[in-house]
Amino acid sequence: MSSASLLQRIRYSRRCYAVCAIARSGSNLLTDGLRETGRAGRPKQFFCKLFEPKYAAKYQANPETDFAAYISRVIDVTSSSNGVFGFKLMGWYLDEFLERLRKTGAFGNGTDARLLEAAFPRLRLIYVYRANKLRQAISKARAYQSGLWKVQVGQSQFSEARFDPELIERCQDEVRREDAVWGNFFARSTIQPLRIDYEELCRDYKGTLQAVLAFLKVRLPARAKIGGPSTIRQGDELSLEWEERYRSQRETLPVIHS
């Protein structure tokens, strides 16, 4: 079946959403919770080049030879039984992803929003963000050093994290850049997202998931319950200690230019 035929087949039978995020903003916490409901697809980074080989092999579709057909295949295979498909997008590869969509020629040549809506039927956007950029940067620095980007029970770190103010500064710069990418995208987009604050997600996990499901117009079975999170929040006494040390040393750090 051609990629055009596949696209035509899914266009009227699916509802799609994207979780727009920056590293260490709680995106895994959110997407894992949505997946566990069994009614909101299996949102993953299907369109990140780092992970595509794994999904290409698993779903038997080649994004290098036919990206449009790969998208169609992923949507078809990973949608939940109610026709909902979800995926995650990170700010650092958003522009590259949009360019890849445009180059297929299968989704028209309009604005970024029209391009996305053509590729993903009835698309809705969810933006999960973290207001405290310093804590986000500290969390990212710890993940870089430990190798733990998703903390779960039974996992062990690859190496011990140590306080490195220059690494934290670089991570903070990366966070600001990605934040600007999403800010610019939403400013020019006609698709306005549901905004989810990281702290609120951690404080009221079930309530936030219920709000997201309502936004997506997804109903759970009458007796279904939202369970607890499978991802463990990394923030702890060590993160607080690093925050205090960083703030006290900040004036002595070299200036890093963008």
pLDDT at 235: 56
**Residues near 135 by Cβ (< 8 Å), separated by ≥ 6?**
235, 239, 243
Low-confidence ranges of the chain (pLDDT < 70): 1-13, 149-159, 231-235, 251-258
Residue pLDDT, tens place only, 45-89: 999 999 999 999 999 999 999 999 999 999 999 999 999 999 999
Residue 196 has φ and ψ, to the nearest 5°, of -115, 120
Report how far residue 90's alpha carbon sits from residue 39's, in angstroms, rounded to the nearest whole number: 23
Asked if 194 and 125 touch (Cβ cutoff 8 Å), the reply is yes
DSSP characters for the chain?
--HHHHHHHHHTT-EEEEEEE-TTSSHHHHHHHHHHTTSS---B-TT-TTTHHHHHHHHT--TTT-HHHHHHHHHHHHS-TTSEEEEEEEGGGHHHHHHHHHHHSSS-SS-HHHHHHHHSTT-EEEEEE-S-HHHHHHHHHHHHHH--SS--TT---SS-----HHHHHHHHHHHHHHHHHHHHHHHH-S-PPEEEEHHHHHHTHHHHHHHHHHHTT----TT------SSPP--SHHHHHHHHHHHHHGGGSPP---
Report how far residue 41's alpha carbon sits from residue 204's, in angstroms, rounded to the nearest whole number: 22
Q: Kind of pairing, strands 84-90 and 15-21?
A: parallel
Asked if 102 and 111 touch (Cβ cutoff 8 Å), the reply is no
pLDDT at 119: 97
DSSP-assigned beta bridge partners for residue 21: 90
pLDDT at 13: 65
Asked if 43 and 31 touch (Cβ cutoff 8 Å), the reply is yes
Asked if 181 and 146 touch (Cβ cutoff 8 Å), the reply is no
The rounded percent of the chain whose pLDDT value lies above 90 is 72
pLDDT at 12: 47
Q: Which residue has the tokens 């940067």?
A: 137
* CATH architecture of structural domain 3-131+179-226: 3-Layer(aba) Sandwich (3.40)
pLDDT at 179: 95
Sketch the domain layout of the chain as residue ranges. Answer: 3-131+179-226
Residue type, 169: E
Q: Which residue has the tokens 């430990």?
A: 146
pLDDT at 258: 46
